[in-house]
Structure 1
Amino acid sequence: MTITVRPATASDVPELARVLGVAFADDPIISWLIPDSRVRPRRAGYMFTTMIRHQFLPGGAVDAAFDETGRMLGAAVWAPPGGRRTSGAAQLRMLPGIVRAFRGRLRAGGEMADQMARHHPTEPHWYLAFIGTHPDARGRGFGHALLAPRLAHCDETGSPAYLESSKSENIAYYERFGFDLTGELNITDGGPPMWPMWRTPR
């Protein structure tokens, strides 16, 4: 099996959103924000569309993974050092999509985002906002193919990397790539936690 990873373009956004929406359908944080499992992948896709198009794609750090048939089966969404914050104008452009995704949970999502921002490291770093693979691709090396090139770049440039794992079972997976657990975040006021992880360049 051949896996191809390339930078995503604006034309990839609908498929990126679809793949990530399905990939995160069982995610504890997304499930907390969008409780109805029947609409969760579609509404999560609205969130991914909005955030990728207006926040992450302009930074040029969104990677997509394809199988040998050209089917997109995974994506990694990064922010480069200093590129995590969005302008006020971009936030306004994002608002309709975020409202469409979270609806009655919009306030909870905003408060969660504020909590994440308060705990975000201030040292310059690459931020892995999302990584996901379609259920059809799990266990087939797509995660490794997506992570390895960007982390190699971190090592070459001496840049740390940071992520928040929303599943405790994924902590050991990220540790294999050099990430270290730094604590536990209660960003949902008693809902599911997140686990921040930091990677020192090798």
Structure 2
Amino acid sequence: MTRTRPAVAIRTGTTADTDVITALLAEAFLTGPVADWLVPDPRRRRDAYLAFFRQEVERALRGGYVHLATDQSAVALWQLRMRPPAESAERPERLPGACAPFADRFAALAAAFADHHPTVPHHYLAYLAVAPPRQNRGVGAALLRHQHAALDRAGIPAYLEASNGDNRRLYLRHGYRSAAPFHLPFDGPPLWPMWRDPRAV
């Protein structure tokens, strides 16, 4: 018998959700190769991530859009990249104090993303985060399907960077093509640029 995954209810995130979304992102990305590289001191990583992701959530709410599972178990932050941004827009705003000791890594990460970002109009999946207890249960996939349906209707492609092999395989299953990875500096881990053309509807 095939097990059917439960439906995932999704709504648009608002400024009232900032604290919840920030905590969700920090928890979901707290471990892994990029986390170890970005904030090598695990004792300081959570505070740095909470400060950094609050800034990223506020940025997405201002100039992009946020999709949140109604049970607050997962979130997707998208940016509209229908024209090349000014160079300053590719770089993070002034880093919060908790991030300052690791400013060189945050700056290098932003520069690497900017150097490999396509200039063709698209929507950019900056972050897809699922709470650790809900991972591998189809919640992230539901958020992808939700946005892909809208992109397909509008004929708009999507782009992202996969941070590990498991994520890359998820995105491959959802119609993305993977380019060769690029590596972060300072002996950093690989990231895979991935592109999805819209499907005919």
TM-score using structure 2 length: 0.87
| Residue in structure 2 matched with residue 196 of structure 1 by the alignment | 193
Q: Tell me the percent identity.
A: 34
SS at match of 1:61: strand
Given the alignment of the two structures, is residue 166 of structure 1 paired with residue 163 of structure 2, yes or no?
Answer: yes
Whole-angstrom distance in 1 between the partners of 2:176 and 2:121:
16
Whole-angstrom distance in 1 between the partners of 2:13 and 2:174:
23
Whole-angstrom distance in 2 between the partners of 1:7 and 1:86:
27
Whole-angstrom distance in 2 between the partners of 1:30 and 1:158:
34
Whole-angstrom distance in 2 between the partners of 1:84 and 1:64:
27
Aligned length: 194
Query: CA offsets per residue over residues 70-121 of structure 1, 9 Å max, x none?
Result: xx111101002337847969x79x31xx233422210221122112101100
Whole-angstrom distance in 1 between the partners of 2:129 and 2:141:
11
Whole-angstrom distance in 1 between the partners of 2:86 and 2:48:
22
Given the alignment of the two structures, is residue 21 of structure 1 paired with residue 21 of structure 2, yes or no?
Answer: no
Query: How far 1:141 sits from its partner (Å)?
Result: 1.8
| Residue in structure 1 matched with residue 3 of structure 2 by the alignment | none
Whole-angstrom distance in 2 between the partners of 1:188 and 1:101:
22
In structure 2, do the counterparts of structure 1 residues 88 and 193 end up closer, same or farther at CA, with 3 Å as the change threshold? closer
Query: How far 1:2 sits from its partner (Å)?
Result: 5.0
Given the alignment of the two structures, is residue 145 of structure 1 paired with residue 150 of structure 2, yes or no?
Answer: no
Contact map agreement 1:126 1:162 (CA 8 A) in 2:
yes
**Paired residue type of 1:11:** A
In the TM superposition, 1:23-62 aligns within 5 A as: 23-53=28-58, 55-62=59-66
Of 153, 157, 176, the match for 2:154: 157
| Residue in structure 2 matched with residue 132 of structure 1 by the alignment | 129
Whole-angstrom distance in 1 between the partners of 2:85 and 2:132:
31
**Paired residue type of 1:56:** A
- Structure 1, gaps ≥5 residues long: none
Root-mean-square deviation (CA), in Å?
2.3
- Structure 2, gaps ≥5 residues long: 1-5
Whole-angstrom distance in 2 between the partners of 1:181 and 1:133:
22
Query: How far 1:31 sits from its partner (Å)?
Result: 2.2
Query: CA offsets per residue over residues 149-194 of structure 1, 9 Å max, x none?
Result: 1111111111110000111222111111101101111232321111
Whole-angstrom distance in 1 between the partners of 2:84 and 2:12:
18
**Paired residue type of 2:39:** I
In structure 2, do the counterparts of structure 1 residues 177 and 108 end up closer, same or farther at CA, with 3 Å as the change threshold? same
Contact map agreement 2:38 2:102 (CA 8 A) in 1:
yes
**Paired residue type of 1:62:** V
In structure 2, do the counterparts of structure 1 residues 101 and 181 end up closer, same or farther at CA, with 3 Å as the change threshold? farther
